[in-house]
Structure formats: structure tokens, C-alpha cells
Structure 1
């Protein structure tokens, strides 16, 4: 019986199979395999049986009951590790940039979808300011982080949501509501003198990329809130008023693409 040796085949093969290959053509018992491998006869028999079932060895029964011996048949096909093709530094940078762009694109699409769901929830009661906890509870499947990211998009980027902050010494959580003027719905028609004056102020500020606050408009109508709301409602009805929520402030601009006055 030959000593155990590495067979002249590429790659590393199992020890038991190499022992059989070193004695190719000879039938070896588990005890002989144990001597060659340094294993116990039981472990050698188990390994040889597994190779027999896989078709890499064969066995035959001895005259004694439950005694077998094994002979080498073939080595299993070599499995080379799959490696990606080598890439140059420039190619790798392009691939990383493409993956990063794809990741950002998917993340932005997810944020837009979350923002649309939150906006639909806020529209269930436009006049009410919902807290972040109420939004998380009301919109299924959104975590706190996803809710905050979507609210940041709605308040800063698209400006469709207005932040409602508690007043001084009020123990109340910050809320979010749909950005709306809150003006009464009126029929579109020719602008009145007050409405025309307010629109000219808005148009002047818009041309210089300046938003106008409610206080500045109120000064144009001698501080009469009723006149201000009625004039702004008419401007809005003609499609000439743009709302720009900034934090908890609601600023106004003119839309020159609206209906003719």
C-alpha cells in the first residue's frame, strides 16, 4: 500500500480521495484509509461512502457482514473561484459614480412617494396641524426617519406644507398642515382697486425675487383685515397669487401667468 501523497492534479482535493488516488486500482478498507489519513476508521468510512455516492469512488462488499472496501474512480471537477474582470482605476470610478447616482435616484423616488402619501394624509383635514407622531401613526409603512425626510422635502423643496410652531410658553408639539391661504372662495372677475393695488405690490416684489409678507400687504389697505382678505381672495380667484411657505411663515408672490385682470 502506497503512502498518502498529493496527486498530480491542479487544485486541492479531499484527503480521503487523495489517499484512494495514491493507491489507484487498489481496494482499501476503512482501516487502511484511516492509516493513510490519520482519521478514525469510522470517519474514513463515512467520507469514502460519500465519495461513492457522488460517483468519485466505488465500493464492494467483503465476505464479512457490513464490511466494505473502496477504490478510486475520479476527482470531482475543479471549481475555480469566480472573480470579476479586472478594472482600471478610471473604470472603477465610473462604476462607483454610476452606482451612487442610481442609489440617489432610487432614494429620491422613494422620498417623493413618501411625500405624496403624507400630503394626501394632510389633505384629509387641511385646516388642522398634525404632529409628526400623528403623521407616522396615520400613514402606514413609514418610519420616523422616512417621515422627517419627506416633511423636509414638503416644507423646504416643494413648499406644499406649512410648519405650525407653538407660541411662546405653549407646551405644544410642532405641527404640519397643508399650505393654503385660508381665504374664502370667490368668483373670478375684474380686480377691485384694493386687489389691483395688492397685485401691483406683489408683482413688484416678484420681479425683484422678493416675497411679500401679510403685514406689508395689510399696510396697503390701512390695516383693515377684512379688506385685505377680500382683495387677496379676488387675486387668488384670478390665478394671480402664489403662496410660498417658509418655515411657519406664509409669504406671497404674484403669478403673472394667471388670468387677465
Structure 2
């Protein structure tokens, strides 16, 4: 089994839950769809990912960001960040680089009930009277309107140790979309590519940030462990029905830059 990097192309913005997506969880889902048995899917994970006795060498997701992307010129008007727009035109490298993934609000409508469309609330077509105005920001309709933070990037990046090519093939075949509300258009994915890496970045990523949940008593040398979030977490898919254990948790939103390429040996 060898270190690899997995890039999952994003076609639509993805909505994350309270914790980031994890590679072994997505792989378990693919194997479950293939074998139809949750226990078999869990056993088969060992054929694809390295296991150290407590957890798989598989990271959570990170957003792929290109460092050459810069804030739009019109955003720099007014000398934002103390940068002269004229200097930006002369020297584009002085434009402010995009360093973070920005969330956009997306709304969805929950399941409607029969009484929601009662004629006392909405006049049916054909009747010569105006529609009654519905209060969407309060009352019983408020709970049907859901707001989500959707994140977009060129791709999501995972790191692992194992058979990256086989994992990419399974994910590309079985997964059409990932994340929260994947069934209604969020997190649609395209091509899945696996590339070799010289080092194992599944625990600590190329930026030296924690890449996955690890138990508090692990031997890994972490940067600023006192600043990491500590919560109970499940270490084995399918991440339900079992007791978690105290773990250091990675950042919910991580970024990987394009200058940290595969086989860079950083």
C-alpha cells in the first residue's frame, strides 16, 4: 500500500455537516452499494486502505485552491488592504490572493403538507381574488425554509495510504454527489483522480495541519495541539451505533493549495 492523493472534481457547491467528509466513510458507502452488506463493506475497507490497529490512514476532505487566483480588480477599488489599484494593474502579483474558501447561502424548501396549500391560505387558480401573502420569515412556514452554507472549489482533496486507483474507480462509479442534501443537487461530483505521493499526508497534511480525527493518546506530533478541538469521534465507518472516543479533530474547512503538488516531497 502506497501514499496517494485523491482529487474529486466538484460540479456544484457542497454542503458539509458539523464535521468534514472523510475518505474511509465515502469508500465504505461505495463498498456497501457494491456488496449490499454493511459488515462486508467494513471488512473490505482493509483491502483498500492501510489500517494501523485503531483507524485507517485516510484523511478528511480539503478544498483545492489555486494560489494564482486573485481578488477581482473592482474589489480593490478604494485602496482595499492598502493596495493601490494602479499598482495592481502594473504588478498583478500584488493583488490579494484568495486564501480561504467562501460559503454562499443556499435555500431549500422542506416537505410541504396538505394543509399548506389550503384555500384559506392560497387562493387556487381560477378564483378572482388575490393570493394571500405567506409569512416565510416567521410562523409555521419558517421551519420549511432551510438555509445552508454551500462551499465551492475546483475539487475536494483527500489523502490516504492504500490502493488509490481502485478507490478512485469505485467513487467515480458509485458516487454522483456527496455531502449534506446530495440528493437535491448539492455536492455533484465529476472526475475522480488518484495520484501518488512520496509521504503519508493522511494524518497531518502538507500544511502541517491535522487531516483527520485521531485519539488523544496517539503518538503523532501535532502542531499546537492545545488549539485543536477535542470531542468524541467514531474512528470506523459507518460512523453510527458505536461509542466514540476523545479525539483531536481537524478543522472543518481546510484548504490545499496547488503549489503543494503530488510528489513534491514537502
Do they superpose with TM above 0.5?
no
More relative contact order, 1 or 2 (CA 8 Å, 6+ apart) = 2
Query: Bigger radius of gyration, 1 or 2?
Result: 1
- Structure number with higher strand proportion: 2
Class of the TM-score when normalised by the shorter of the 2 chains:
under 0.3
TM-score (norm 1): 0.17
